Amino acid sequence: MLLHPFYRRGGSCLRHWPTARSRLTNPRIVGVQYSSTRTPPFPIVDTCPSPICACRETPRELDIDQKLPLNNTIARYTEQVLISTGKEDWTSRIEDEEDNALARGLKSLLSRGGRYTDPSFNVAITNSSFPPTTSSPTQNASAFTFPSFKYIPTIPNDPQSIESFLKAFLLPEHAPHGTLPSQDTSKSARSNTSQSDFKDVVSVKDIVVLICGHGGRDQRCGILGPLLRDEFLTQLPQQDAKIQAGPPEAKESVTSPNDISARVGLISHIGGHKFAGNVIIYTPPSMGHHPLAGTGIWYGRIEPQHVEGLVKETILGGRVIKEKFRGGISRTEGMLNL
């Protein structure tokens, strides 16, 4: 896909923006200003730019906390597993979903008293609205893992296969420091042998935008989530990003390092409903020229009016918006905070 300059139209506004290509190859088109004496771990802008054109309205009756600081309000995690359900909402506890054997199995292995309980690492288990590859959810599941940026299309739902999936993709890549040679590392580090049990694993090369829309848990996210998803689906194509709808496939590839493709989905509870709308933006390591490649950036208090700015600043420009930042994770550096 060739990128080119474009004009934004909406109501009476008409304004020319730099293309996605120019913003990614020259991330200093908009100057980055740091407002802290400590150098941030990534480029930042203090505030989200105001929208240029019309956007969806935010319901005014929602009880959103506008006072508490957002920075460092996410729970530490080492990996997030994102189960593709093809649904847009779930029961309050996702493991209670009849066809969600993967969530139940992982929680039993990782929760207190489980075989892989370990305070040194935490796995976030989340449902998503992304469609699964499998057509039989009672027999197999499909899932993404972040920040490993993998998509596993077929995960059998039997206990042995779920444990094998955990060992292959969710345990830390290396045993913790201080592990003695005589200690059993099968519970503390990923297993290459287990990875061979899963075929057609795909490296995710799209930007992935996740929005909490878990109405079965909290109506604030249930109301805001779909509005934000629709706004992202409107704004991304207007700024030269291609929307990917189906499950990732190995044959997919972008035509240029500067082309952008994105997946946008609703997800279940990730903590902080009082900060709705909650958004996570994962930028793949394959976008090596992007300042946020290999990271996941968490935002809170996002309204439809902020989506245009998130696309422009974070997705295209590689800059984190400080006033909306809750925390983040890096594929190489671990948890990120300001």
Same domain, yes or no, for 210 and 278? Answer: yes
pLDDT attached to residue 129:
98
Tokens read off for 292: 């946020």
Claim to verify: residue 155 and residue 225 sit in the same structural domain: no
Give the separation between CA 294 and CA 146, rounded to whole angstroms: 9
* Co-location of 193 and 224 in the same domain: no
Do 10 and 120 share a domain, yes or no? no
Cα-based distances in Å from 335 to 123, 179, 237? 13, 22, 30
- Tens of pLDDT, residue by residue over 196-240, are 889 999 999 999 999 999 999 999 999 999 999 999 999 999 999
pLDDT at 191: 81
State the pLDDT at residue 2.
32
What domain count does the chain have? 2
- Predicted local confidence at residue 196, as pLDDT: 86
86 within some domain:
no
Give the structural domain span for 123.
Answer: 92-173+187-203
Considering the domain architecture, whether residues 259 and 324 belong to the same structural domain is answered as yes
Q: H or E segment at 309?
A: helix 304-310
Mark whether 100 and 195 lie in a shared domain. Answer: yes
* pTM (predicted TM-score): 0.86
105 and 194 share one domain = yes
The answer on 261 and 195 residing in a single domain is: no
Say if CB 95 and CB 107 are below 8 A apart: yes
Tell me: do 199 and 226 sit in the same domain.
no
Quote the pLDDT of residue 257: 61
The low-confidence residues of the chain, meaning pLDDT below 50, are 1-36, 179-183
Q: Say if residue 163 is in the same domain as residue 307.
A: no
Q: Are residues 162 and 194 in the same domain?
A: yes
Angle CA(127)–CA(187)–CA(283) in degrees, nearest 5? Answer: 40
